[in-house]
Amino acid sequence: MFYFVAWGGLARYFRRTSLLQDQTGDAKLSLNMSRRAAPGLLLFAVTVTLAAIDWMMSLAPHWFSTIFGVIYFGGSVMATLALLVLVFTWLRKQGYLGDVITTEHYHDIGKLLFAFMVFWAYTSFSQYMLIWYANLPEETEWYQHRTHGGWQPLFVALIVSHFLLPFALLMSRNVKRHPVGLVIGAVVLLASHWLDMQFQIMPGLHEHGMHLTWIDATSFVGIVCLFLGLGLKNIISAPLIPERDPRLAESLHFHNI
């Protein structure tokens, strides 16, 4: 419950303050949000890390990894940026954002998406390398469950789709500046993140092999529908462009080097 309270509190504060700033035009509100953004990001990182340990790592109570929460944090931020690309592109295509989202913004989001994808790969490889090198039974059993019983193809697929393919695609500056290319990369990474969640969680529930049921599929569809419903409600209920933000003009006219 604490995690949802922390995340909901952060979202509510920044949304409410942003809407108030758009009504009053008070530049101090933007400054206050900037000052609270860094500690808010730290709170988010800590709570997401602890949530991953409580909800996912606890499925293997005798296994331990000091980097497990960091891996999930990197993957979750990467997935958020990938979803942001899809949402921005759809809203821009529908005419809701006009010229507010420019090629420079796509480039910036693409660079962040690429960075967190590499960060996820680096931390995931670090965990695997240290466990492989130490070769301790209490540590290797976690990977043992994920490389046998039908899970090995998923292990290989993650290497390709979650790192090698998007690395080759998003390395290009032209791809990051092109909406279609960036959308393709975002879709690949979102699908890969879903596969990664299956890889992290499902073997702990079905140790004797891959076993996906209709409940797994319907739960996923239900969560997606809930997210889309809440997201569309927030999109409709407030302006999408912070027209009285004092930094809006600067944002619209900046250029990447």
User: Is there a domain that residue 244 lies in?
Assistant: no
User: Is there a domain that residue 127 lies in?
Assistant: yes
User: Is there a domain that residue 218 lies in?
Assistant: no
User: Is there a domain that residue 132 lies in?
Assistant: yes
Question: In Å, how far from its chain's centre is CA 173?
Answer: 21
pLDDT of residue 209: 63
**How many domains is the chain partitioned into structurally?**
1
User: Is there a domain that residue 203 lies in?
Assistant: yes
Say what angle helices 152-159 and 179-205 make with each other, to 10 degrees: 150
pLDDT of residue 228: 85
What φ, ψ does residue 32 adopt, rounded to 5°?
-65, -40
pLDDT of residue 67: 92
d(CA 189, CA 114): 10
| CB-based contact 145:151 (threshold 8 Å) | yes
User: Is there a domain that residue 34 lies in?
Assistant: no
User: Is there a domain that residue 28 lies in?
Assistant: no
Instruction: Specify the length of the chain in residues.
Output: 257
* Domain limits for position 96: 63-212
d(CA 76, CA 51): 12
User: Is there a domain that residue 172 lies in?
Assistant: yes
Averaged pLDDT, groups of 10, the chain, 257 residues long: 91 91 87 91 93 90 89 94 92 81 90 96 95 89 83 89 94 91 95 91 74 78 87 81 81 78
pLDDT of residue 210: 66
pTM above 0.85, yes or no: yes
Q: Comparing C-alpha atoms, which of 173, 197, 196 is closest to residue 185?
A: 173
| CB-based contact 222:80 (threshold 8 Å) | no
